[in-house]
Each structure stands twice: as C-alpha cells, then as structure tokens.
Amino acid sequence: MPEKLVSDVIVERLQKWGVQRIFGYSGDGINGVVAALQRAGDRPAFVQSRHEENAAFMAVGHAKFTGTPGVVLSTQGPGAVHLLNGLYDAKLDHVPVVAIVGQQERSVLGSGYMQEIDLPTLFADVAPEFTQLVSAAEQVPFVIDKAFRTALATRSPAVVIIAHDVQKAPAPDPAAHEHGAIVTEAGYRPPRVLPADDDLSAAAAVLSSGRKVALLVGQGAKDAWPAVREIAERLGAGVVTSLLGKPFVDERESFVAGTMGHLGTTASAFVMGECDTLLIVGSNDPWTEFYPAPGQARAVQIDIDGRLIGNRYPVEVGLVGDARETLERLSPLLEAKPASAVSEWRADVERSVTRWRAISAERAAVEAEPINPEAVIRELGEQLPGNARIALDVGSVVYWYARQLVLPPDVTAHVSGTLASMGCSLPYGIAAKLAQPERPVFVLTGDGGFQMTGINELITLSRLWRSWADPRFVICILNNGDLAEVSWEQREMESSPRFAASQDLPDVPAARYAELLGLGGERVDDPGKLAEAWRRAISADRPYLLDVVTDPGIPLLPPFPAGEAKLEPMMSALAAEGDAGRHAADLLAVYASHERDE
C-alpha cells in the first residue's frame, strides 16, 4: 500500500479545518475514508449514530449550537438517501454543514450498479451551492476546501461525493504550478458586511417617523441583543421574535412580546397587528398572516443575505448587513423623540405583555387529564440551570416552549425551525453535549418525535455518556398518545375530526427502556409529582428520561385576533368526535375565553 492515500489527504484537510468530530455511519462506499479516520487516530473523532438521517441532524445540531460547520459522513446509495432530511434542515435554517459521501467505483458508474444512485442529481436541490463528485485524485484537497468555504460563506450544506476507487488511490503529488492544476489553502474569515451610509439614513428616517414601532428579531440577531434593546428603547418599540430568534432576546423585559406566529404569544399578535412601522432584524419567519397587513406598516429589514430582503413583507428600505453592527450604526441616526410621542404605544405594548404573562400562567394552571403539557415546560423554566442547552423536537412542544419557557440569557435552544422535521431533538442534543459536555442538555419532544428517531439515538446516548465530565442530559417526552399538533391541524384546517388510525400512537414504556440501557428514567402521571421529578432528572448522575403523561386535549389555539376565525372549524370537528371531543372542546372554550378577557 502506498504511504498516503487520497482518503488520508481528506482527513488531513478536515484536521486543517479544525473539525473535531464527524457524525456518520459506515458502508463499503465510504470505507476508504473511514479507514483513513482510523489511521488518523480519532482526529477527528467518529460519532456513530443509529441512522444517517440522525447523523445529519447531529451535524446540523453541531452547527447550530457551535456556529462552526457540522460534518457528516455516509456511504453511497441508501446511506446517501438517508442524509437528505438533515441536509434540508441545514439548508432551510441556513447553517453550514459538510457531507462526505461515498460512491461506487468510477468503472461502473452509469451501469445501474449495486447501490448506484446518481448522487449529484440526488443532492442538487439540497446543496445547490456546492455538490461535487470527486472522480480524480487531484481534486483533493481543493474540493474539501471549497466545500467548507461554500458552507460557511453561504450558510448552507455542501456535499462532497467521492468514488470509492478514488478514496483508495495514492495521494496525488502536490499540484504543480501549471494549467489544469489547483493549489488551495484551508481557512475562511467571514466578511464584515455593512450597508451604505445613505441607506442607513433612509432606514433611520422611516423608523424615526413611526409612532408604533415593532421589531421582529430572528436568529440573525444572535449576538445583537444589546443593540436590539437600545434601538427598542430609543424607538419605544415592542420586540417580537421569530421561533428561531427567541433565544436571542431577553424575554424578561417588559417590552418583549415573545414569539410570533400560529404558535406564538397573544402579545406578539397585538404588537404585529397594531404597529405602523416594522424593523425586521435577521428574520425570515414564514408566518406571513401574522405580520402586519401589507401596507399597514412601513418596513425596514436588516439581513446578512440580500436574497432574503423583502422575502416576507414589502420592505421600503432593505439593509444588507451584519445585524449587530448595522443596528449600532443605525441607532445614533434615529431622531430623538420626545418621550410623549412614543409613550402611549410603549404603554400599550407593555400592557399586552403583562396580559400575555397572565394568560400563560393561567393556561399552565388549567387542570388537565392527567398532566397539562404547558405546566411541564413552565416547571422546567423554574428549574432550568443557567448554562443549559435545549434541543427541541417538532410537535406541540414547540408551542409550549414558545409560550411557557423564559430562557435565561445564556441558554440557547434549537429546533428544526423551517423544515420543521420531527426527530431532530435527540440528535441535536447529543451534538450539543459532545461540543460542550460541561453543560446540561435538555431534550424536549413529543412521543411521536421520540418514537421516530429518539428511541434509536437513546442507544447512542447510552454508549456515550460515561465519558462526559457532566452527565446531565435530560429527555422529557410529552407523552400524549397522539400526534397532537396534527390532530389539531386536522380540526383547524380541514374541520375534520381526529382520525384515530393516523393519529393514535402506541404506548411505549420509554422510561423502562432507558433503564434497560443503563440510563435513569421514570414515568410521571401525577401533576403533583412533576416538580419533584424534574428535580430528580436534573440532579441525576446519568442521562435521565422523564416520560410525562400529558393531555392531548390541551388546544393549539393560535393567538387572537387571527385565531378567532379558527374556533368554528375546530369546534365543529370536536363536536363530530362525540364524547372523545368533549373534553378538548371544553378546554378550547376556556382558552378562547383567555384571549377575549381584557
């Protein structure tokens, strides 16, 4: 065997890019690279998932929690197909991920060989910025460099496909200084992106003339909270967040109205519904019906990606720039207003926030059968350690996260926000923990999400945790026996009664399964024992699973006024459910009364 192979060059390049771990699953199509990883002695470390989709979610979770590219590896054919969902998650939520994927030998490509899939075509939509088949040894290392640079520069997935025989070929000689040879270097420094002065002035003029200003803050503002707060103070504005922006504002402030949209707060609906001026900062939130009506508000938008300007709302001044620096430059340009000019709006905003806080407290206190999921998440908020990391699944838990969890300033939370794929939470949580094992991780999921991928990745967790400095890793399942979010969507959008065949979930003894794997766990079905159970989970000496039996009848009612029109279809669907729907209908009436009470 020659001293060095193409695969060794690939691994050296990953080291140069500072990659510490690769999430993945082996297979003959990628075994050349796997062998090189072995030769490199765990640099980077290989983290084996139970399924390539979960490995891809881990890479996305890594990127979301650390801000550095996540790397995932898979074999050709079925392994490659399994990656897609995770890679789409990276694409839609704009995070850098590099996938290294095997392919059959060059000699058989095109013949319909075993596990042969046209991989450049397969990945063309998910990774349009960079998908490249390596079919010559000389393409390495520049293809690896380009993949990382593209993933970072475009905040998106990049895919490197490597034919199996190329992986095993001798490492190419260093490229000569001649036509047809490419020499590259690893490294990427993000640019400083700032709008032109004239555009900042134009934006300041729009914002200064507003009397009822709303700020919509997204994940692009992740290090911009002081600048957001200052602008909000100067403009007397109310602050609303996208789902992805929620962790990056301080929801304890009286003018922060919380998450917008169907799953959002009543205060956010008020602020967006009543504002006359909107400043969107690093957000591409898709809930367009919860924005101000087009024409209602003059709008300014700041985004690092010019393609997203005006993408959700007609924007008068679009500023392409880094959120924090752009806000810092905008702030001194705003006209100082007499306090009286904005105080009325500010007071209205604060009243809506106070009212919302009362509603969310009331809702968590609503009696349920047996446990109210809102109370589960609220109680976590009472006990959440200040350095926690939260990995959230897709399902009704996202509503309770948005509405009940006030995050301490240093706690971040991530979810598959735009693809909204179930099954992301356990993989995200594992990636978060591997990146920072000293921080406690909380995985919040429904029973559907848990049964989809969580149950498998619990096995991964059970083999990883013993090496962690801090073993705290809590999985909380809101176990309602239902695909509840969709049951409520069926009622709301189709006015159709819950369909047991598609919505019922099997009852899985998840806590006992966790114990079988050497983890801690308990089932909680008494609301009086909830706080104590959280305490046990948070102080356990190993990962701990809380299987909390919750009420599927707790309604997913969108905030009023938009939500009011949804009551009728929901109620008529529940009526068609007969006895089974009565309890949920009663709860829905209570929830509607919260929205109506002033």
Ligand X SMILES: Cc1ncc(C[n+]2csc(CCOP(=O)(O)OP(=O)(O)O)c2C)c(N)n1
Binding site for ligand X (CB under 6 A): 394-397, 420-423, 446-449, 478, 480, 482-486, 505
What is the smallest separation between the CB atom of 425 and ligand X, expressed in angstroms?
A: 9
Please, which residue, 88 or 473, has the CB nearer to ligand X?
A: 88
What is the smallest separation between the CB atom of 53 and ligand X, expressed in angstroms?
A: 9
Q: Which of 480, 529, 536 has its CA nearest to residue 506?
A: 480
* 58, 6 Cβ separation under 8 angstroms: no
Q: In what order do the strands lie in the sheet with 21-24?
A: 45-48, 21-24, 70-74, 97-103, 157-163, 131-134
- The two beta strands, 441-446 and 473-479, are parallel
What is the smallest separation between the CB atom of 483 and ligand X, expressed in angstroms?
A: 4
Residue with structure tokens 């929205």? 595
Whole-angstrom distance, CA of residue 521 vs CA of residue 519: 7
What is the smallest separation between the CB atom of 399 and ligand X, expressed in angstroms?
A: 8
What is the smallest separation between the CB atom of 451 and ligand X, expressed in angstroms?
A: 8
Please, which residue, 159 or 486, has the CB nearer to ligand X?
A: 486
Please, which residue, 289 or 507, has the CB nearer to ligand X?
A: 507
Please, which residue, 242 or 421, has the CB nearer to ligand X?
A: 421
Please, which residue, 5 or 557, has the CB nearer to ligand X?
A: 557
Establish whether the linkage from the previous residue to 174 is cis, with ω within 30° of 0: no
Please, which residue, 162 or 394, has the CB nearer to ligand X?
A: 394
Residue 248, CB-side half-sphere exposure with 13 Å CA sphere: 26
CB burial readout 328-337, b (16+ within 10 A) else e = bbbbeebeeb
Q: How far is C-alpha 159 from the chain's CA centre?
A: 21
* 370, 551 Cβ separation under 8 angstroms: yes
Please, which residue, 33 or 394, has the CB nearer to ligand X?
A: 394
Whole-angstrom distance, CA of residue 371 vs CA of residue 478: 9
What is the smallest separation between the CB atom of 421 and ligand X, expressed in angstroms?
A: 5
Whole-angstrom distance, CA of residue 25 vs CA of residue 321: 38
Please, which residue, 45 or 81, has the CB nearer to ligand X?
A: 81
What is the smallest separation between the CB atom of 416 and ligand X, expressed in angstroms?
A: 8
Whole-angstrom distance, CA of residue 286 vs CA of residue 575: 31
* Residue, CB closest to ligand X: 446
What is the smallest separation between the CB atom of 452 and ligand X, expressed in angstroms?
A: 7
What is the smallest separation between the CB atom of 498 and ligand X, expressed in angstroms?
A: 11
Q: Which of 519, 507, 505, 532 has its CA nearest to residue 430?
A: 519
Complete DSSP assignment for 475-488 = EEEEE-SB-HHHHH
Please, which residue, 251 or 482, has the CB nearer to ligand X?
A: 482
H-run or E-run covering 321: none
Please, which residue, 270 or 442, has the CB nearer to ligand X?
A: 442
3-state secondary structure (DSSP) of residue 157: strand
3-state secondary structure (DSSP) of residue 256: strand
Q: How far is C-alpha 443 from the chain's CA centre?
A: 12
* 415, 405 Cβ separation under 8 angstroms: no
